A = this chain, B = another copy of it.
């Protein structure tokens, strides 16, 4: 049988990885897919730069239309990134009846509903394993491996840059700004790291994962997003003493009243496997009713790890595009006419536990006031740590660290406002959410 023909849009980091993996493992891939998979042509802005990757044997075009409108091409891979051009090209490819493989989480998080609807209309597949957690086949696990289950929650380290930064902050006791510079120097953070460090990239991914887990539309715009830029080394150290590690987690959880969808720094018990995922590695923890807790760990970014997911999608399309489109694996795991309208909960209605650090005047009655406010708001205390007075400062102040049990965030906001107003609370209260993940 004639090899399946692929058009590649974009030949940057992931595009090059895809090209190289397909070429290096072509024989192994053919043995698995039952057909060869060939790059028919590559769209690049610079022919010269593309030639450096693909050599002289592959057609390089500077007009993406030559790929999208080419009847010889079966599958289009979109690796351009961003929202604008990528969206236009993906929609055109679908309209032309091509199957699409993309690694573009931003695109799917924002325009997923429209793209999947168009694909359904044309009976083509849109595959996007590479969009979440790079080389870890987490989309496949959720969409196909755990279909028996009512999924309860998912918590993932799904941004390698921030996990690298947090790992370094802990290992070296350094503050955020210092480590960010190091990460940029080492290539773990981009020159403009905003999307990573502010949690936006993780929010794109968790919005996709949430849809697949709970059978709802992708709703990035409703996610609560908080990055790691304000974190201090002191809190990482205090948490460590209490048996917790700090991770930037993407979390989505089913509640009776709706779905939680949030990205924020989170304290996790040090003994959990996910707390021990270090450096730029990713891991996704899934809790579901039949299987219990399972974890998926691996490289979440990089040229070949991401290419691994892109090429796996190519093989999937090659193997499965002949299946009845009405029953074939749905893009978002659930049949499009079975999506639920379960609301995404605002952050004030999220239920979680908290780490609080209060800098207080070291005088009688302060602790009674603080614990009194928490009690009044019905928030119970799990652990309390009072630091010895800070002698260097020559002032009478100290750090009080409080770990609470679970509470509704709105209630914690009220408690924090009351505590912050106390004259004996001398600095802005630090608040970090905490999850037991068991």
Binding site for B on A (CB under 8 A): 17, 21-22, 24-25, 28-35, 129, 135-137, 140-141, 144-150, 215, 273, 276-277, 288-299, 304-305, 307-312, 314-316, 318-324, 326-330, 333-335, 338
Contacts and interface: CB of A to CB of B under 8 A. Distances in A.
Given A276-B276, A326-B34, A137 B144 contact: yes
A140 B144 contact: yes
B34 A146 contact: no
A32 B17 CA distance: 33
16 contacts: A24-B150, A25-B150, A32-B215, A33-B327, A137-B145, A144-B312, A147-B316, A149-B308, A273-B273, A273-B277, A273-B297, A291-B298, A291-B299, A320-B327, A323-B323, A323-B328
Contact of A296 (B29, B296, B319): B296
Contact of A304 (B290, B293, B321, B323): B290
B323 A329 contact: no
A148 B308 contact: yes
A25 B289 CA distance: 9
Q: Which of A290, A314, A329 has the most CB of B within 10 A?
A: A290
A31 B129 contact: no
Given A144-B312, A145-B129, A147-B315, A307 B327 contact: no
Contacts of A315: 144, 147-148
A74 to B, nearest CB: 13
Contacts of A310: 148
Given A25-B289, A32-B334, A320-B329, 18 more contacts: A17-B290, A21-B290, A25-B149, A28-B215, A33-B147, A34-B335, A136-B294, A140-B141, A144-B316, A148-B309, A148-B310, A148-B312, A290-B308, A292-B298, A295-B297, A296-B296, A320-B320, A320-B323
Given A305-B290, A305-B292, A147 B328 contact: no
Contacts of A330: 32, 34
A89 B67 CA distance: 51
A295 B295 contact: yes
B299 A292 contact: yes
B135 A292 contact: yes
Contacts of A326: 34
Nearest to A296: B296
Nearest to A135: B291
The 4 closest A-B pairs by CB, nearest first: A137-B145, A148-B311, A294-B298, A323-B323
A239 B368 CA distance: 49
A15 to B, nearest CB: 14
A145 B135 CA distance: 9
Contacts of A31: 215, 334-335, 338
Nearest to A277: B273
- Choose among A30, A145, A276, A295 the residue with the greatest number of B CB atoms under 10 Å from its CB: A145
A308 B288 contact: yes
A29 B148 contact: yes
A314 B144 CA distance: 10
Contact of A32 (B288, B291, B335): B335
Nearest to A333: B32
A317 to B, nearest CB: 10
Contacts of A17: 290
Contacts of A298: 291-295
Given A34-B335, A35-B327, A311 B147 contact: yes
